Amino acid sequence: MNSDNNIFTVILSCPDRIGLVAKISQFFYQREMNITDLDEHVDKENKMFFIRLEIDRSGAKNKNFKKDFDNLALSVNANWTMKKNSEKVKLAVFVSKQVHCLHEILWLTKIGELNADIKVIISNHEDLRKIAEEYEIPFYHLAVNEQNKIEQENAQLRILKDNKVEGIVLARYMQILSSKFVKKFENKIINIHHSFLPAFKGADPYRKAFERGVKLIGATSHFVTESLDDGPIIEQEVTRITHKDSLFSLKRKGKDLERKVLARAVYLFAENKILSYENKTIIFD
């Protein structure tokens, strides 16, 4: 009988060669594991192969097959990950004062549309504590300034470790994370930037867009890297504005984009559908 505990996802990347799909499929067939979903992509320019499979192992002869699959991966010089679909990804949400993105993530998690477990909310301000309490999620206020940044980041890292956090969502967290912090969560920190990157990087992008007189504004969710607003892009969306829009109405429209774009990025992360490669992302169906 099928159950969520028997469904898991494998993501693999390696140099492209003939017969990879057949080789991987044969591996699972021989162990009586059913491939219920498969999405693959070949980067022809860089000659790289990428594949995501969902596997049902309810009828498997040998459920301890990781070692065998690791040998297969070694034979084709592949990197791979495996995750049980029933396991919710453990997330921390970092916030400052704005609430729209936090509300979206918490609500979608509560109604079961995000395969996530929000372990903690961490903020450099007290403003959103009440919302965390309403959702019964631990809230940590760690004010950050130039003098205590290292100390407070170390405290954040201790909280994340204690709660076994696997990914971080920056829901309009208005602080720049240090290189040390980012390296500990490489390709696991999801940010929302309130512009259609690479346009209007850095602070106050709505005002910059308004002053430039653009006709489209956007929002971008991306992984955080050491370079500001320059990490692999996960999701983007735009909306049209006109000369009639004020800076206030432009920001209002932008906030709607932000919450939707960030939520979609978190969904893809929780469903194990993102693979980062060469400062880009492959988003599997």
The whole-number average pLDDT for the span 152-159 is 97
- Do 20 and 118 sit in the same domain of this protein? no
**pLDDT category of residue 109 using cuts at 50, 70 and 90:** very high
Q: Name the residues annotated as catalytic.
A: 229
Termini Cα distance of the chain: 26
Q: Are residues 80 and 95 in the same domain?
A: no
User: Do 170 and 236 share a domain, yes or no?
Assistant: yes
Examine the pLDDT at 1 and tell me if it is beyond 50. Answer: no
Q: In this structure, are 101 and 73 located in the same domain?
A: no
CATH of the domain at 227: 3.40.50.170
Hey, is 51 helix, strand or coil?
A: strand
How many domains in the chain? 2
- Are 254 and 277 contained in the same domain? yes
Torsion angles phi and psi, residue 114, rounded to 5: -120, 130
pLDDT of residue 191: 96
Instruction: Supply the DSSP string of 101-148, one letter for each residue.
Output: HHHHHHHHHHTT-S-EEEEEEEESSSTTHHHHHHTT--EEE----TTT
Co-location of 189 and 276 in the same domain = yes
Q: Are residues 76 and 93 in the same domain?
A: no
Instruction: Let me know whether 168 and 120 are in one domain.
Output: yes
Please check whether residues 273 and 228 belong to one and the same domain: yes
131 and 223 share a domain?
yes
Among 7-21, 53-67, 169-183, the minimum mean pLDDT is found in 53-67
Helix (H, G, I), strand (E, B) or coil at 271: coil
Cα torsion angle, 52, 82, 229, 142, sign? positive
Domain that holds residue 48: 4-84
- Let me know: does 274 contact 247? Beta carbons within 8 Å: no
Confidence of residue 2 (pLDDT cuts 50, 70, 90): very low
75 and 99 both lie in a single domain: no
Average pLDDT over residues 257-281: 95
